[in-house]
Structure 1
Amino acid sequence: MSYQFNYTLPPLNAAAPKADPNAPTYASEDGMVASLSSQECIFQIRRTGEPHVMTFQVLQAMDQCREFRTLDEHVARIQSTQPALASKRDDVKRVLESLVQRKLLISDASFVERLGTSSAIAQAPMRAVFIRACDRPQQLAHLLTSLAEYERRFRAGRRYVLLDDSVLQASINEQRDLLREFARTTGCKVHYIGHAERTKIVDKLAREFPQAKATIQNLLVRDKSAGTQRFGGGRGWNMALLLSAGSRFALLDDDLRLNLKRPPFARVGLDPNPSPPMEAAFLANMEEAFGYGEDVDQDPFALHLDACGQMLGALTRTAYPLSRQALRGMNLSRLEILSAPSRVVATQLGTYGSARTENGLWLYRLEGRSREELWRERASYLRNTEAQHIWFGVAQALPKEITGFTPFTFDNSLLLPCTNPVGRGEDSLWSALTRYAHPDAVVLELPEAIAHVQESQRNRSEITRSAFAPRVNLFLRDYIQRQFGLYKAADPAQRLSFFADVLRDLAGASEAERVSNLREYLSYARADLIDRLQHQIEAATEAPIYWQADARAIVESNAKALLAKVPPRLGDWPEDIDDAGCAKALVGELDGMADALEHWPALWRHAAEQGEKLLGAL
């Protein structure tokens, strides 16, 4: 056996220059290429469709300029990757300057200016603050107390709607009384929607759409059958969407509390990084968690409503400016949200107090200060892995394609899709459906957090170390993302109809095909988790042994699940289910969601035509 080693040393004059933080940076436009000859090609800018003829050597140079860097940095990189140009620095720079003139390389200042040209649009009126509640009167009492203090302080006079999904009569009575007392002390207009009120709405909609009666019932009302006793937050979500159709609204859960707080490391402006490191702080107890950061002195609803329903570019001219220096090192092809005419359909908050996650996998994706705080001492690390007393969110306003948490405010002036009425992950599923129906839709997460106090302690660490079992709504979310970019219809209702057919197509596959699809999905989900965590382990060379041991335990449990020959069970299904049961359960999930998406646009349009009448009739 023989081996040959070839070494190519970068030329001495190609050393990367010291970057001037104030110097302009440039990045190459994304585009499509077609060959014209062995020497030339045509490059069509994806954003504008403008064609340019160039040599393949120039195209190769453009490929090395995808990130926002100074021209000198681009020249050095091109020379290091193309040895034939090692002694032609001036020639390379002249070519790049010509690309700037032809607008094939865009400057950071031009990118910021282009983003800010979006015109501000008129925003829809605010309908109400909706509160999802379910058999937790003590939690609801704390939330209403904080809202009463908000009303006393800001005299906003907002309308509040309690969506009560309780089943215990004692809870129903107490929560109705709490709402009445809140109305008496604040003078605010309130509405209580329990089972009787939901039934009244369902009956009214069923008279208008008799062919959709079963779907309406499934979307909005708790079913007593065993198959629907999963978490039912999606029912309240769907009801809020119908009762606010044509307007904007806010959504709270009964275990949340005002006021909003900003962390000490919050920054002004907009973060262009589509995947920034998550930010977290870990506190010793709930008192410390509530004292972390500083209170927001603005009306929290008004703060978010100022952004909700507005063009993202218009916001960069006012509340959330984009600094051109923040673009340094960003790959232009990853800035799709900022390159397109994006509209903020929802705003997002961070959390202080208890985490709003089912597991703690996110803890092992932290970086920098947050990760060091997580693992600083063994005793605090063990406490931190339960995520009981934290601050979690972003340090700077961040636009996202898909969010994993329930948004704070929504722009429901244009058709927003429904979500699955049952199962956890209804928020992430809704976000993916919204992005699918409205390709220009983004969720803007702001660097403020709302208090979350869970009703009881949760053992997240045990779930975290177990093999990842994605829930049904996560499967649906990921299946939707695979459809992004495949359809061109401008009408969101038509897009939802398309996806309903896609779901029915999979539901109509053979049992073997459905089982294979589930196995493929679970393999991908677990392999992706393992890959991400392995990179974290390799990079965190300074990590304490207890963090490394837990990270490797997560990798090991998922690797075992990846290789195990067991039924492809999603997290919501019984643990003793077999292959045939998984295939059958998948059909039920797909058909139920397809029916919902098929009928939802007509239901939403009818609710929008009714306006406040639908709510006022209760």
Structure 2
Amino acid sequence: MSSNLNFQINYGNVGLTAPAPAMARPDPKAPLFASEDGMVASLSNNECIFQVRSTGETHVMTYQVLQALDQCREFRSLDEHVNRILSTVSGLNVPREGVGQVLQSLVGRGLVVEDRAFLARLAETPAVEQAPLRAVFIRACDRPLQLERLLASLTDYERRFRAGHRYVVIDDSIQPESIDRHRDLLREFARSTGAKLTYLGVAEQARLVERLIKAVPAARAAAPQLLLRDPAQPRFGGGRGWNLALLLSAGARLAMFDDDQRLPLRRSEDAREGLDPNPATSAHVRFFRNIEESLGAGEEVVDDPFELHLEASGQALGALSRGARYAIDRSALRGLSLGRLEHLRGGARVLATMHGTTGSSRTESGTWLYQIAADGREDFARDRDSYLRNIEAGSLWYGFQQARVATIGYFTPFTLDNSVLLPCTNPVGRGEDALFSTVTRLIHPQALVMELPVVIGHVQEAARKRSARTQSAHTPRFNHFVSDYVQRQLPDFLAADPAQRLALLAGHLRDIAGAGESARVRHLQEYLSFARADLIERLQQQFESASDAPVYWQADVRTIIEANGRALLAGAAPRLGDWPDTATDADVSAALRGELGQLAAGYEAWPALWSHARDEGERLLSGL
């Protein structure tokens, strides 16, 4: 490749050879450009091969040109790129016009991409034919008052939109009075709306599992663990209902509620259309005096909430980006590199859609409250009385101002495209939603989660005291441990078949389970040390950047840092959050082996169960 650039490469600190020219304000209408990411292999002292990561194309270039490319990573105007090269490259004896000509030649070769070309490439993907909605699933468990409020809001919805959806209530209740009350509420809901309704209590779930085992004998041991309550297992079991919903909707799409949610959806007064391409955008967080105030904040969404989500669920991102609702404004690309936009692929399917929440927080700890953006922090700690109320996170608003896509979602989705194999999740333990999303990403590497700029009401059965857990040492749960392992330690899988990728994950989990006792303990020690050290670092950064924060905020941040610091040095048994405080090294080693083995068995059996359920289609649900 020929070039007029002629300067020396300095791999140390680059100094200026002359004072930087005064920079004019960038023209907001000027096209923006960013260089492609790639890999470099040396050819000689002067030349290298640059392979474009997105296309695999190779280009021969001088190291001088490579350095120029490196200065153009972020979307900015050509004038800004030229200014940056002139002000940061040592020993450059090329006129401004010459640098501009070289950049134009790189644009022509596709090594520097214009914003319009990037967005046009994204939008080239044709629309995907989306699967039908099988049913709306509701996970319920011994909370009749919460279920009553949810059904009341769904009654209003059905009367308003005459949608005629099918509803399936998966009841995990064990108290007879709760079960009786739930049945009464569902009969009234069916009479009021005319909607088709299916109830799955303990007996119905057991009959379904019998049918599945008969059809898939290899799942005889795994199916009950994945789908049925174990009377000897006291832990939270939201994953069971999740797995049942996935099987009963296999081959189609589904919507899902928890019984403590309620319609309508609401949006912030500042919400806007379009898709935010920045993966690091912070959520909008507001705090209120009480839950009623938070539930009434914002504007009610007048569109059908299901159709709003189903428009995106299962669709290709490129097709969505052509519409006004999810178009990307090219100015939103400013300052972003193509490496940070790798998730924006036209053919990437939106397999899950989510919304924010107003009312009660969806987390059991409030540590995240000390890491929110500055405007939210000001609202969070504006005075001591409101701060003491806000640390319990019982009346807040958490959501985004503009739609966004991500590779992983950490909360329960509202709709799922289950027309392709989706993984099961751990039937027990909190964090089942993050684990599900992480494994979905593993078996569908280009899958996306879309979060819409709307929130749903969330009212828990009683006020929860989160501050005690917040100020204790960070102790992730088992599902968080597996999710972090998948994201940080698994090698890249090359298999194209999602079922094969799920089997590979199971093999890795069995590998850890099969280690010796001391090796399992050491693995947990390393994980907890990393998790706590990472939290300490993030909180210290927040503390240093918020020197004007109130003293009570600063005192609590120090308390959290110190609690995690003491835990790092304590030398106690490395227990996860689901295990007893009194657990010994032998206890945690045995618990890790047992839980990893059960989860691996579930992943191994799941593809056959899901395939059978897909083949059965509506018959599986109609036969209940």
Same-fold call, TM > 0.5? yes
Secondary structure of 1:547's aligned partner: helix
* 1:303 pairs with 2:308: yes
Q: Is the CA contact (8 Å cut-off) linking 2:115 and 2:330 kept in structure 1?
A: yes
SS at match of 2:221: helix
1:159 matched residue in structure 2: 166
* TM-aligned CA distance change 1:485 to 1:567, over 3 Å: closer
Q: CA deviation at 1:287?
A: 2.1
**Match for residue 532 of structure 2 among 520, 526, 530:** 526
Q: 2:455 aligns with which of 433, 442, 449?
A: 449
Question: CA offsets per residue over residues 511-565 of structure 1, 9 Å max, x none?
Answer: 1211111111111111111111111111122212111111121111111112221
Contact 1:11 1:86 in 2 (8 A): no
Partner of 1:256 in structure 2?
261
Q: Alignment partner for residue 290 of structure 1, among 280, 291, 295?
A: 295
Q: Which shifted more, 371-380 or 127-136?
A: 371-380
What pairs up with 1:170-209 in 2 under 5 angstroms?
A: 170-209=177-216
Aligned partner of 2:583 in structure 1 is 577
Deviations 1:246-270 (A, max 9, x none): 0001000000000000012212100
Query: 1:443: Cα distance to partner?
Result: 0.7
Deviation at 1:466, TM superposition (A): 0.9
Match of 1:3 in 2: none
> Which of the numbers 226, 236, 240 marks the counterpart of 2:241?
236
Q: Is the 8 A contact 2:17 2:91 kept in 1?
A: no
Partners of 1:456 and 1:254 lie apart in 2 by: 13
* SS of match in other structure, 2:280: coil
SS at match of 2:39: strand
Larger mean CA deviation between 479-488 and 324-333 belongs to 479-488
- Number of the residue aligned with 1:48: 55
CA distance in structure 2 between the partners assigned to 1:99 and 1:485 by the alignment: 34
Residue by residue over 1:263-288, the C-alpha shift from the partner in whole angstroms, topping out at 9 and shown as x without a partner, is 12212100111111121111111221
Q: Does 1:140 align with 2:111?
A: no
Question: Does the 8 Å CA contact 1:13/1:86 hold for their aligned counterparts?
Answer: no
> Residue 97 of structure 2: which of 74, 78, 90 is its match?
90
Give the alignment of 1:246-395 within 5 angstroms.
246-318=251-323, 319-339=325-345, 341-395=347-401
Q: Give SS of 1:128's match.
A: strand
Instruction: Determine the structure 1 residue equivalent to 2:502.
Output: 496
Shift of 1:78: 2.2
The match for 2:115 among 101, 108, 115 is 108
Q: CA deviation at 1:235?
A: 0.1
Shift of 1:615: 0.9
* Shift of residue 92, structure 1, vs aligned partner: 2.1
Residue 419 of structure 1 contacts residue 426 of structure 1 at CA under 8 Å; is this kept in 2? yes
CA gap of 1:87–1:534, structure 2 versus 1, over 3 A, is farther
Match of 1:19 in 2: 26
CA–CA distance in 2 between the matches of 1:536 and 1:340? Answer: 36
The amino acid of 2:37's aligned partner reads D
Counterpart CA distance in 2 for 1:527 and 1:15 is 43
Query: For residues 14 and 280 of structure 2, what CA distance do their matches in structure 1 show?
Result: 35
Task: Give the Å deviation of 1:11.
Answer: 2.6
- Considering only aligned residues, what root-mean-square deviation do their CA atoms show, in Å? 1.4
The Cα offsets for residues 457-478 of structure 1, whole Å up to 9 and x where unpaired, read as 1111121111100000000101
Question: Contact between 1:14 and 1:86, CA under 8 Å: does it hold in 2?
Answer: no
2:574 aligned partner, one-letter code: P
What is the letter of the counterpart of residue 618 of structure 2?
Answer: E
What is the distance in 2 between the residues matched to 1:497 and 1:165? 29
Q: Secondary structure at the match of 2:595?
A: helix
- Could you list the per-position Cα deviations for residues 482-537 of structure 1 after superposition, in whole angstroms to 9, with x for gaps in the alignment? 36661111110010011111111111111121111111111111111111111111
Superimposed CA distance per residue, residues 424-450 of structure 1 (whole angstroms, 9 cap, x where no aligned partner): 000000000100010111110001000
The more displaced of 45-54 and 236-245 is 45-54
| Whole-angstrom CA distance in 2 between matches of 1:245 and 1:135 | 27
> Aligned in 2, Cα 1:340/1:121: closer, same or farther, shift over 3 Å?
closer
Look up the equivalent residue of 1:359 and give its one-letter code. S
Q: Distance in 2 between matches of 1:125 and 1:282?
A: 38
The answer on whether the counterparts of 1:124 and 1:411 sit within 8 Å (CA) in structure 2 is yes
CA distance in 2, matches of 1:186, 1:53: 67
Aligned residue runs from structure 1 range 456-495, under 5 A:
456-482=462-488, 486-495=492-501
| Cα distance in 2 between the residues matched to 1:21 and 1:123 | 38
| Mapped contact 2:316–2:346 kept (Cα < 8 A) | no
Structure 2 equivalent of residue 437 of structure 1: 443
Query: Matches of 2:309 and 2:360 in 1, distance apart?
Result: 22
What's 1:28 paired with? Answer: 35
In structure 1, what is the equivalent of residue 416 of structure 2?
410
**Which digits, 9 at most, give the CA deviation of each residue in 1:59-92, with x for residues without a partner?**
1111121111112222222233322127643322
Cα distance between partner residues in 1 of 2:365 and 2:23: 43
Specify the alignment match of 1:587 in structure 2: 593
Tell whether the 8 Å contact from 2:14 to 2:90 is kept in structure 1 after alignment. Answer: no
- Other-structure match for 2:72: 65
* Equivalent position of 1:546 in the other structure: 552
Q: How far off is 1:158 after superposition?
A: 0.5
Of 181, 206, 221, 2:228 maps to 221
* Cα contact 1:219–1:596 (8 A) shared by 2: yes
Tell me, in whole angstroms, the C-alpha distance in 1 between the residues paired with 2:87 and 2:520.
49
CA distance in 2, matches of 1:483, 1:565: 24
Mapped contact 2:423–2:436 kept (Cα < 8 A): yes
In the other structure, the counterpart of 1:515 is: 521
Residue identity matched to 1:258: L
Task: State the percentage of identical aligned residues.
Answer: 58
Residue in 2 aligned with 1:77?
Answer: 84
The residue type paired with residue 300 of structure 1 is P
**1:79·1:86 contact (CA, 8 Å) conserved in 2?**
no
SS at match of 2:97: helix
Deviation of 1:118 after TM superposition, in Å, equals 1.4
Alpha carbons 1:140, 1:255 under 8 Å: kept: yes
SS at structure 2 position matched to 1:114: helix
Letter in 2 for 1:362: W
The more displaced of 19-28 and 570-579 is 19-28
Q: For the Cα contact (< 8 Å) 2:317–2:345, is it kept in 1?
A: no
Tell me the amino acid that sits aligned with residue 583 of structure 1.
S
Corresponding position of 1:396 = 402
Read off the aligned partner of 2:328 and give its amino acid letter.
L
Number of residue pairs the alignment of both structures matches? 611
Residues 340 and 440 of structure 1 are in contact (CA less than 8 Å); yes or no, is this contact kept in structure 2?
no
Deviates more, 1:181-190 or 1:366-375: 366-375
Deviations 1:292-313 (A, max 9, x none): 0000001101110011000011
Q: What's the counterpart of residue 570 of structure 2?
A: 564
TM-score by length of 1: 0.97
**Cα pair distance change 1:397/1:101, threshold 3 Å:** same
Q: Structure 2: how far apart are the matches of 1:369 and 1:377?
A: 14
**Contact 2:521/2:588 (<8 A) preserved:** yes
Distance of 1:331 and 1:81 partners within structure 2? 19
Any conservation in 2 of the 1:16–1:77 contact (CA below 8 Å)?
no
Q: In the superposition, relative to structure 1, how do residues 578 and 477 fare at CA in structure 2: closer, same or farther (>3 Å)?
A: same
Q: Which runs of 5+ in 2 are unaligned?
A: 1-12
CA drift of 1:16 comes to 4.2
Amino acid at match of 2:82: V
1:11–1:83 CA contact under 8 A, matched in 2:
no
Say if 2:318 and 2:346, in contact at 8 Å, map to a contact too.
no
Q: Using the alignment, how far apart are the partners of 1:152 and 1:97 within structure 2?
A: 59
